[in-house]
Amino acid sequence: MSKYALTVACRSTRGIVAAIAGYMVDNGCNITDSAQFDDMQTGNFFMRVSFTSEEGVDLDALRAGFEETAKKFDMTWDFHDEALKMKVIIMVSRFGHCLNDLLYRWRIGALPIDIVAVISNHMDYQKVVVNHDIPFHCIKVTKENKPQAEAAIMQVVEDTGAELIVLARYMQILSDRMCKEMSGRIINIHHSFLPSFKGANPYKQAFQRGVKLIGATSHYVTADLDEGPIIEQDIVRVTHAQSPEDYVSLGRDVESQVLARAIHAHIHRRVFLNGNKTVVFPASPGSYASERMG
């Protein structure tokens, strides 16, 4: 049986869940997992439903049949085949911990994505990437050539059909134009527990303030630096006896985990934009499983 997911966002009103459940029953589908959130402050409603098509109804037929229900509630919606892997481009500069972590998770099947390219402004990780049989593109970025460099990046996006860009410690600020063109499709890892300690040296700032917790934040990229909607965060405890270098080392582990979790949520369509915030539903049972783990 085919496994699908339905994502829905609309204004909150009575009867949405009943309408969706009724449509599933009428079309021979069995709901295996469901999550919903009614935002009382904004009046927005969000829902994600995992289901199996027990009578062989395909996605095209499900989409066509759902139009009437969606129109009634003025929904933003789509059906997704959970077997299809999202095409992803990873961008990296000279810090490779997140890249290496993502490559490992991808290799063992723990992160079910299709990495169609790795882009870097340096050559440091060319061999690592090529050894994984993934195309590597070195696109140098300077103040003088930035528009041309971003055009080259977007050409790779177009040529590969990439649906998501992951900034795995890519240390270049993207232009407003690129941020808007790829809105909701660029995920960044920031080496700090936002909204505090923005910019390029957050661990130094945190050390100078004597914090007891440091962390990492994964968020969607917007034109406002380090201000995009937050997807995932985590922390690690530190003490007065640790150095700025300790902060960096401890932070790298947190960064890798947070970025991987944010990507996992995005590729499984669990993240919904809700103004300048996000709604992130729990993972469906079995979505973290991998046949090569253990």
The set of catalytic residues is: 226
CB 106 within 8 A of CB 113: yes
Q: Residue with structure tokens 């080392």?
A: 249
Comparing CA positions, the residue from 34, 13, 29, 38 lying closest to residue 66 is 29
Q: Which DSSP string corresponds to 141-205?
A: --TTTHHHHHHHHHHHHHHHT-SEEEESS--SPPPHHHHHHTTTSEEEEESS-TTSS-SS-HHHH
Measured at the CA of 178, the angle between CA 177 and CA 181, to 5 degrees, comes to 85
Measured at the CA of 274, the angle between CA 273 and CA 277, to 5 degrees, comes to 85
The C-alpha atoms of residue 206 and residue 197 are separated, in whole angstroms, by: 7
Calculate the CA dihedral of residues 136, 93, 227, 205 and round it to 10 degrees.
160
The β-bridge partners of 170 are: none
Comparing CA positions, the residue from 38, 35, 31, 39 lying closest to residue 47 is 35
